[in-house]
Amino acid sequence: MNVFEMGLVESAIYLHSEPIDVKTLSRITNLPRASVIEAIGFLKELYESDNHGLEILEIGGGFCLSPKQQYYEALRSTYGRQSMRRFSRAAMETLAIIAYSQPITKAEIESIRGVSADGMIKLLTEYRLIKEVGKRDTPGKPIQYGTTKDFLVRFGLKSIANLPKLEETESQRFDQYERE
């Protein structure tokens, strides 16, 4: 691996405030995709050693530099995301329902929660954690909601498949609302 190319990719990842994908890294660095992929692999290995406080994470299809968990926990009080708004239990419950059941309509969310979802859907949409992903092919064509890339970034997920597994009782709660 060319040391300059590896350093170039590392610098581009560092300078981006959000996870950056291979295609964009290739364009920014003027390196072929294969070289970018090789550099990322090399950097991941390099940062795995105990000599580094950082690691390369893949989140939402992009790569970012992040403190290793043990160091982040030790520094959280000073460097934690203080600007990140803390969401209410109702907002987090609505977000979880959408994440685990997407695509899902407002009526289905309300059926699971037992209360109106208008305010929570508006709030989560404003924070770009959910979005309209289509319309259900049923009478009235209700809007379906799903999570966004910002959701993946906020929760440090590579993809929706990396959501924590639900306990059996919670899984059954969601299963009763599954659609064809």
Integer Cα distance of 137 and 28 in angstroms: 41
Looking at residue 169, its pLDDT comes to 52
Looking at residue 149, its pLDDT comes to 87
Residue after which a domain boundary falls, among 79, 99, 131: 79
Looking at residue 40, its pLDDT comes to 96
Residue 128 resides in a domain? yes
Instruction: Identify the segments of the chain with pLDDT beneath 50.
Output: 82-83, 176-180
Residue after which a domain boundary falls, among 50, 79, 108: 79
Looking at residue 134, its pLDDT comes to 94
Residue after which a domain boundary falls, among 43, 60, 79: 79
Residue 36 resides in a domain? yes
Structurally, the chain folds into a number of domains equal to 2
Integer Cα distance of 24 and 29 in angstroms: 8
| Domain that includes residue 167, residue range | 89-175
DSSP 160: G
Looking at residue 75, its pLDDT comes to 79
- Does residue 124 sit in the same domain as residue 161? yes
Q: What is the CATH number of the domain that holds 135?
A: 1.10.10.10
